[in-house]
Structure 1
Amino acid sequence: MTTIDEVRRSALPLITADDLDPLLERVGDARFVLIGEASHGTHDFYVWRSDLTRRLIEEKGFTFVGVEGDWPDCERVNQAVTGDTDPFQALYSFERWPTFMWANEEVVDFCRWLRLWNAKLPPAERCGFYGLDVYSLWDSLRAVRRYAAAHLPEQMEAVTDALHCFESYGHDPQQYGLATRLVPDTCEDEVVNLLAAVRRTAPEDLGVRQNAEIVAGAERYYRAMVRGGPDSWNVRDVHMADTLDRLASMRGPKGIVWAHNTHVGDARATDMAAAGMTNLGQLARERHGDAAVLVGFGSHRGSVVAAKRWATQHHVMPVPPARPASLEALLHEADLPGGRALFVVPPGDRPMWYDEPMGHRAIGVVYHPERERWGNYVPTVVGRRYDAFIWLEHTKALHPLHGEPWGDVEPETYPSAV
């Protein structure tokens, strides 16, 4: 039997959301389902991810969605979907580049559905929407200050010390990182004191606790970023894994994650491990074993929203056909019915193609289609990287709500682009 025949035998039909039944069977009683995307700017990935998420919430009782986004911005969305206001404005107000990751029509549609779903439930049982990422240093620090001024006046000294320390470097966290490379003085002590104070006095308040954890994580992240190497990536993904666990303990036991394939797929099945990198998918498996299910996405060609350079206006760009000998090229050659398929990775003995290393396309928020043959592919053993994989032959760009704003804010996903 050829590899192409093996792929065809492995493929399950995928026409409507009802065809996700085998994946829900694979999820079973799992507590965490991490759902990826091969780019941040593809309509089809967002729609199928939303369809799967709806079914997990309706049929499996999942209690929160954690996304690769900022906590303060996502908290406004959470208030809308668990309350009685349209989430459109909360999503439209995203200002940190690249805004199109969350300020898009596809996420609005999902969040409107989630608000209607929640409206049928008592407040304590509603499904939340939270940011997992480590960015938003200044927004989170100000949120801690506001909370302390109203509820923890005895901790204002620790908050003020941290705020004044960062202010001395201006409002650019990257400049803070650069300065600490040249001068050994840092804000680490002030941040440690701030975090200890919040943990001690407000342990059950998730919002203020998470904002304090973000300040601590961001301080480590920007110091690590200027040194280069894998440390900043690892700080970020460990922070996301810790946030996921914190949400599970404080907002219900079953969570769904939305993030890029490079965060969701197990790093040990790629070249990331050899570079000293871990990621959210690997950490979820290490911490929770079979209670974590990892789902990846891929496509052969189409269009995508991305930018040519950091912090510039996004555009719709072509996604050229996948390069030869890649996972995407193999699935394209299989000529699967309807150009879509679901693959649920079998345990134990399985077709050999699941365990053959292949390049797997990863498109970031900065993208150059003309460089496809030299970049954008991660060496991957797909059957070890994911528990399931959704294949969409031809995809199209998502629909942003607005153009990119201009302002002095640190960009999300910097410097990795995913």
Structure 2
Amino acid sequence: MTANDTLSLVRAVARPLYGGSDDYGDLLEAIGDARFVLVGEASHGTHEFYRERARITRRLIEERGFTAVLVEADWPDAYRVNRYVRAPALEGESESSDGSALDALGDFQRFPQWMWRNEDVLHFVEWLREHNTRHAQQGSVGFYGMDLYSLHRSMEAVVQYLDRVDPEAARRARERYACFEDFGHEGQTYGLYTSHGSEPCEGAAVAQLVELQRREPELTAAGALAHDEHFYAEQNARLAQNAEGYYRAMYRGRNESWNLRDTHMADTLDALAEHLESQGQRARIVVWAHNSHLGDARATQMGRGGELNVGQLVRERHPGEVYNIGFSTYTGTVMAADDWGERPKRKRVRPGLRGSYEELLHEVAAHLPSPNFWVNLRDTNSGTQVLREERLQRAIGVIYRPETERWSHYFHASLPEQFDAILHFDETDAVVPLDAPRANRDEEALPDTFPTGQ
């Protein structure tokens, strides 16, 4: 089959996106009765990815009754947003003291702040609060985090909860968590020292989680709001236990730490679904995370190397109840850093490499009435069939290294095995951070002669 044949077949099944209110009607029909809709992103700093998954999520909430949004963010930071957006239905200890969406995003202070403190997330949080206010009698839609980097903040949250409900239990929690104080406040430092022989704090973290689980009936006797607060604390204790293992695993190999992190995120999704169901809600949850977490790992080069991910685990645990959406772009700008912990820059995204999905979808876009489109990969047709052949696929995280792009950001994958749908936005723009970096301008433009091939 020639390259032109491939383009013609994919072009025939591409559905243009024009930015109108009817863009995603067919997509919602394809999603059907799925309980879990996973909405990815090909970078952590692209405006169109945030904007469009918010548009899809709003429709899922308004038209399909979805009850929660679970994002690739730390549990305590996102829970402050949850209190704010659900404020019309909460009271007492659960009430939010934040006066605006900007205030509610205030706990997202660690690197990379722009991932959640950006204008697109701000607008979505404002919308979610307004939606819950309009529909207060029907139950509120929550906003939750599923990542595990907040080791110390989560331990503090457990103690604060117990200070309110059982001061003696709070004393025991402080004694257990004091084990971590010898290692400072950086999880990486804890992992480094314990990997070199220092006694780990695993037993203390496990004991605290077990006590909270065992005492749940006693501590939640006051009703639904007490159940909410206990669930928040129990998830923080679970996060502390898993983060303890994660930071130790960091020094034993990438696969082990990656798998621990993604298993924690999938477990958080299951725990949230169970909690919502226990309160009489049908758990229908939208998940926001990077393509690398949500695209089924079994269809990728990383999966063959021993990595699993959220997309794989959720499909395995909930067969027939998952719809998985990936995103793609060919070029434009992205907000990213040169290295971990450094200030973000508005970087140029190099055109997709020769032989990549990005290049193929770009060539499809060139002959459509709109440069943005989506493909339902669940459809059985010649277009989706030719997409099954493995190609390179790009993943930009919070770090973007264009000078080593092939090795830093590309891997082989089979798109229809990864996702149920792919949304392609041919030229995209960087997100606008709420905390403007010192240098928020394009890097020096790449020369016109820069190679686009491997």
The question of 1:232 aligning with 2:257 is answered: yes
Are the aligned partners of 2:345 and 2:437 in contact in 1 as well (CA < 8 Å)? no
Alpha-carbon displacement from aligned partner over 1:8-53 (angstroms, at most 9, x marks no partner):
0110121124121111011111100000000010001101110000
Please give the alpha-carbon distance, in whole angstroms, between the structure 2 residues aligned to 1:150 and 1:227: 39
The question of 1:222 aligning with 2:226 is answered: no
Alpha-carbon displacement from aligned partner over 1:346-385 (angstroms, at most 9, x marks no partner):
3455433221101111001111223224431121100010
Please give the alpha-carbon distance, in whole angstroms, between the structure 1 residues aligned to 2:285 and 2:137: 17
- Map of 2:395 onto structure 1: 362
Query: Runs of 5+ in structure 1 lacking a partner?
Result: 406-418
Q: How does 1:101-180 map to 2 (within 5 A)?
A: 101-122=115-136, 125-180=139-194
The question of 1:40 aligning with 2:44 is answered: yes
Alpha-carbon displacement from aligned partner over 1:45-64 (angstroms, at most 9, x marks no partner):
10111000000000010000
Are the aligned partners of 2:42 and 2:395 in contact in 1 as well (CA < 8 Å)? yes
TM-score in terms of structure 1 length? 0.93
Are the aligned partners of 1:266 and 1:281 in contact in 2 as well (CA < 8 Å)? yes
SS in 1 for 2:317: helix
Aligned with residue 343 of structure 1, among 352, 367, 375? 375
Q: How does 1:238-253 map to 2 (within 5 A)?
A: 238-251=263-276, 252=281, 253=283
**CA distance 1:346–1:173, change in 2 (3 Å):** closer
- Map of 1:415 onto structure 2: none
- Map of 1:416 onto structure 2: none
Alpha-carbon displacement from aligned partner over 1:64-98 (angstroms, at most 9, x marks no partner):
00000011111111111112642111224420100
Letter in 2 for 1:214: L
The question of 1:301 aligning with 2:326 is answered: no
Aligned with residue 430 of structure 2, among 397, 400, 408? 397
Shift of 1:160: 2.1
- Map of 1:261 onto structure 2: 291
**CA distance 1:264–1:144, change in 2 (3 Å):** same
- Map of 1:8 onto structure 2: 11
Aligned with residue 28 of structure 1, among 1, 12, 32? 32
Please give the alpha-carbon distance, in whole angstroms, between the structure 1 residues aligned to 2:141 and 2:203: 36
SS in 1 for 2:147: coil
Please give the alpha-carbon distance, in whole angstroms, between the structure 1 residues aligned to 2:183 and 2:146: 26
Alpha-carbon displacement from aligned partner over 1:230-274 (angstroms, at most 9, x marks no partner):
011111111111111111111341000010000010000101111
SS in 2 for 1:310: coil
- Map of 1:410 onto structure 2: none
Aligned with residue 66 of structure 1, among 59, 67, 70? 70
Are the aligned partners of 2:105 and 2:117 in contact in 1 as well (CA < 8 Å)? yes
- Map of 1:409 onto structure 2: none
Shift of 1:309: 1.4
Q: How does 1:69-88 map to 2 (within 5 A)?
A: 69-83=73-87, 85-88=99-102
- Map of 2:410 onto structure 1: 377
Alpha-carbon displacement from aligned partner over 1:263-316 (angstroms, at most 9, x marks no partner):
010000101111211100101100111201110000100000001111111110
Are the aligned partners of 1:158 and 1:193 in contact in 2 as well (CA < 8 Å)? no
Extract structure 1 runs of 4+ deviating beyond 6 A: none
Instruction: Pick which of 148-157 and 106-115 moved more.
Output: 148-157
User: Which protein shows a greater Rg?
Assistant: 2
**CA distance 1:81–1:278, change in 2 (3 Å):** same
SS in 2 for 1:18: coil
Are the aligned partners of 1:98 and 1:404 in contact in 2 as well (CA < 8 Å)? no
Please give the alpha-carbon distance, in whole angstroms, between the structure 2 residues aligned to 1:124 and 1:172: 42
Aligned with residue 51 of structure 1, among 50, 55, 74? 55
Shift of 1:229: 3.1
Letter in 2 for 1:207: Y
Give the aligned CA root-mean-square deviation in angstroms. 1.6
TM-score in terms of structure 2 length? 0.86
Alpha-carbon displacement from aligned partner over 1:180-212 (angstroms, at most 9, x marks no partner):
111151101111111100111136421111111
Are the aligned partners of 1:36 and 1:297 in contact in 2 as well (CA < 8 Å)? yes
- Map of 1:325 onto structure 2: 355
Please give the alpha-carbon distance, in whole angstroms, between the structure 1 residues aligned to 2:314 and 2:70: 13
**CA distance 1:362–1:30, change in 2 (3 Å):** same
Instruction: Pick which of 8-17 and 85-94 moved more.
Output: 85-94
Please give the alpha-carbon distance, in whole angstroms, between the structure 2 residues aligned to 1:188 and 1:124: 42
Are the aligned partners of 2:177 and 2:205 in contact in 1 as well (CA < 8 Å)? no
Instruction: Pick which of 365-374 and 10-19 moved more.
Output: 365-374
Shift of 1:332: 1.1
SS in 1 for 2:56: helix
What is the aligned-residue identity percentage? 44
Query: Runs of 5+ in structure 2 lacking a partner?
Result: 89-98, 218-226, 439-454
Letter in 1 for 2:203: D
SS in 1 for 2:334: strand
- Map of 1:183 onto structure 2: 197
**CA distance 1:17–1:328, change in 2 (3 Å):** farther
Please give the alpha-carbon distance, in whole angstroms, between the structure 2 residues aligned to 1:271 and 1:284: 19
- Map of 1:210 onto structure 2: 235
**CA distance 1:368–1:17, change in 2 (3 Å):** farther
**CA distance 1:389–1:17, change in 2 (3 Å):** farther
